[in-house]
A and B are shown apart, each in its own frame.
Chain A
């Protein structure tokens, strides 16, 4: 039966989901599918394609607010705000390079459903921190609004944030309202070379704990980065302020060596490659994204290097570890054990073939009571399990 839906408005999404719920027909929700290789493969025979649900509903730069339909290409959204001297401060990463696909694809709905944030996460917050309101259709086929269209709001539960990172398993988002911010006038990168992992992360944490307002803090070990390691800190803002803070970092980190400065263009290229995991692009080796406390990053890598052949680099001041397994095995048990040993966090398998992702726990498994609570939430919003079944957890 010809039944892949391509709705043009929220009412049509509602009708399609209602039908699917009535017929027990699971749906795979697709923006542009640029992140279909992320998460577990969905156990559904039909698509709900949101790419026609596109366009700006309301953009008020002076109010720092943008309302768009969920299927709007993220590239279009970024261009629009850039043209108005603004930005999405969470700096969504682009999975294209890592998955061997083209860059710049994906929709704003997909970005939020996967809660994609880049290096600026440590200063500006995650994608979820920039979401103010949503219109969505639950797995019951009920259309609803939550949140609002102003920057400060505590009316009712914060469903818009909770829908972020839920990979379309609770509701299909049809319209989103996000907060935009002024784009910094200037940026530069402060770079130290040749530091060990421990010293590199120490330098990053010292800078993050200073008043220099760092908006990117990464350490690229020698093996990943060519011959020598680089420890990099990004500064953004008014040009005079960037210069001033560069000097602050220089005196603060004097003991770690002398720094070089990457100006605007070089800095942009560098942070894009850190954001999009370019060091691990162009291969099929399994890649993990691990979030731990910043100081635990190097410790995690040390533990793992005794158990597998791992390559890694660190973003988020050491707390985001991008890890690649050289022997082609995913080593999920080793990695999750190591996360526990260094004080907790979560590990997500982001690159692996579909059959591997079907059989592994792609997302961090949860303790019993938390898993049960998450399942109850899923059952409330999608009692028939028709939205992206299996995408996050097998059988859910």
Chain B
């Protein structure tokens, strides 16, 4: 992380008074004990007390807080529910932590236009709760949906089991209001489709709190599918499982969810929730088909056939809603289940082309031996998004370092086979130093130029995402080659 600015820390009292004048009463937290609640997000290996915590309640307050920080060169870290797994909301010793959790109102539900307007602190599940009485729901469903905020979902472009069929956050957001670091309020999109001018909504989604603070969100809501049924399919090898996934998609079937677990994860989950998973398989696949009843029944039959031709050794189809939930119970509890068999674990997140799955699993087994740590695999099989859980014990000297080295090797492997560093958890501080595995210096420069257009002083969430913070003045210089023209080798007409 960038070294804290001693001058800003020395001005703490002055900054505190200024913020208290903007956000009255309990909206400013400066007591060390109370600030402890904010010192980490879900990447708990990293902790840092913020300079001051501010919980604004109105857009005007957000605007004035940011403008003050901008004018006085104070850094700001936006925070939602603090469930980031990549350290996206890790505070700075010389920065204000801006919690958006008092923005917790559903402002407008518009069924005719299939849109809901909510404040950023509303939880992901809270949106579905507000619309489910009419049979609607909000599709992107991160496992953390009961806790995480829609503002955080936008910042991380979060996804979940449903994303294979229904898209990520970026495909389900229609508009937003945000405040720029200089205090200006900007609205993008709305209940209409697509943008006027540059698609800044695309840049904001997944920007990890580096470009602006989201103060209002318009999302698309969908009618719940008529029905959903699931298949539980076990395979003697992960290759068979991988081929089955490819064949399902090859048959033109896009399931509502398609999740896979490896042996270690299956056993941990089964010991924990007794979902009835087979123990004698190497890979377990859960395929959920959702949609009109007539279609789901038809496709269940097709998927069964595909599973059989791929050597499935275990196959069950849910016959009731209760049974379907049981199939999912183990998968949904996979992380805590692994937590029971190991004092600590590191949850990685990378995406690979699906065809590389068997090769990547084999390499992971080798890496597991090399680093002396076990790994359990749970993944979104339909889109190749892996979540290797690296088991370690933080109390044993050196194990955290070994786990991190193992994690880095896995992510490098993902990039090596044509994939990416993160499918849904974000770069944050966790994968920041690996960015150069995937991008060249020139690639990263262009990304930082986006940052410069929004926040040329690097005051919003600095230290996240980018390994090197180039100054915008340096990035702005142009090294132009005065041409002689004519590049004889470029065809002309």
Contacts and interface: CB of A to CB of B under 8 A. Distances in A.
Interface of A: 1-8, 12, 15-16, 18-19, 21-23, 49, 52, 60-65, 85, 115, 117, 121-122, 125-126, 128-129, 138, 140-146, 148-159, 161-162, 164-166, 170, 181-185, 202, 205, 208-213, 237-238, 240-241, 243-245, 248, 291-296, 316, 319-320, 343-346, 363-364, 366-367, 369-371, 373-374, 376-381, 383-384, 392-393
Given A125-B171, A211-B223, A379-B453, A4 B202 contact: no
Contacts of B224: 211
A167 to B, nearest CB: 10
B142 to A, nearest CB: 12
Contacts of B396: none
A295 B113 contact: yes
Interface centre among A183, A244, A291, A380 (most CB of B within 10 A): A380
Interface in B179-206: 180, 184-188, 190-200, 202-203, 205-206
Contact of B194 (A65, A145, A291): A291
25 contacts: A4-B493, A8-B491, A62-B249, A150-B423, A151-B351, A151-B383, A153-B423, A154-B206, A156-B447, A157-B451, A158-B205, A182-B251, A211-B135, A211-B223, A211-B291, A241-B292, A293-B192, A345-B190, A363-B196, A363-B197, A364-B197, A369-B184, A370-B186, A370-B197, A373-B180
Interface residues of B, number: 110
B483 interface: yes
B45 interface: no
A250 B171 CA distance: 29
A6 B443 CA distance: 25
Interface of B: 110-115, 135-136, 156-157, 159, 163-164, 167-168, 170-171, 180, 184-188, 190-200, 202-203, 205-207, 211, 223-226, 246, 249-254, 291-295, 298-299, 351-355, 380, 383-385, 418-427, 431, 435, 438-440, 442-447, 449-454, 465, 475-476, 478, 480-483, 485-487, 489-493
Contacts of B193: 121-122, 126, 291, 316, 319-320
Q: Which 9 A-B pairs have the closest CB atoms?
A: A244-B294, A161-B202, A182-B252, A241-B295, A19-B483, A346-B196, A293-B191, A364-B196, A345-B192
A185 B486 CA distance: 52
Contact of A392 (B197, B254, B492): B197
Contact of B170 (A64, A122, A129, A366): A129
Contact of A373 (B156, B200, B223): B200
Contact of A370 (B111, B156, B187, B194): B187
Given A152-B159, A373-B453, A144 B446 contact: yes
B492 A156 contact: no
Interface centre among A4, A63, A129 (most CB of B within 10 A): A63
Nearest to B158: A154
Contacts of A379: 453
Contacts of B299: 238
Contact of A63 (B167, B191, B354): B354
B355 A155 contact: no
B487 A12 contact: yes
A157 B196 contact: no
A245 to B, nearest CB: 5
Given A15-B487, A63-B354, A64-B249, A293 B424 contact: no
Given A60-B353, A377-B200, 14 more contacts: A3-B492, A19-B483, A49-B493, A61-B250, A63-B354, A155-B431, A158-B206, A162-B202, A208-B114, A316-B193, A344-B192, A345-B190, A373-B200, A383-B478
A129 B193 CA distance: 12
Nearest to B136: A209
Interface centre among A4, A19, A158 (most CB of B within 10 A): A158
A346 B193 CA distance: 9
Contact of A211 (B110, B225, B489): B225
B200 A154 contact: no
Contact of A383 (B190, B294, B418, B476): B476
Given A60-B355, A126-B194, A392-B197, A23 B485 contact: yes
Given A155-B427, A295-B112, A1 B485 contact: yes
A373 B185 CA distance: 11
A209 B114 contact: yes
A238 B480 CA distance: 56
A295 B191 CA distance: 10
A164 B167 contact: no
Given A152-B380, A241-B291, A369 B186 contact: yes
Given A144-B446, A152-B168, A155-B420, A374 B491 contact: no
A60 B355 CA distance: 10
B423 A154 contact: yes
Given A63-B353, A153-B351, A380 B450 contact: yes
Nearest to A375: B453
Given A5-B490, A152-B380, A363-B196, A62 B246 contact: yes
A23 B483 CA distance: 7
A209 B299 CA distance: 24
B479 to A, nearest CB: 8
A342 B239 CA distance: 55
Nearest to A292: B192
A15 B202 CA distance: 29
A52 B171 CA distance: 32
Given A162-B198, A211-B224, A142 B446 contact: yes
B422 A153 contact: yes
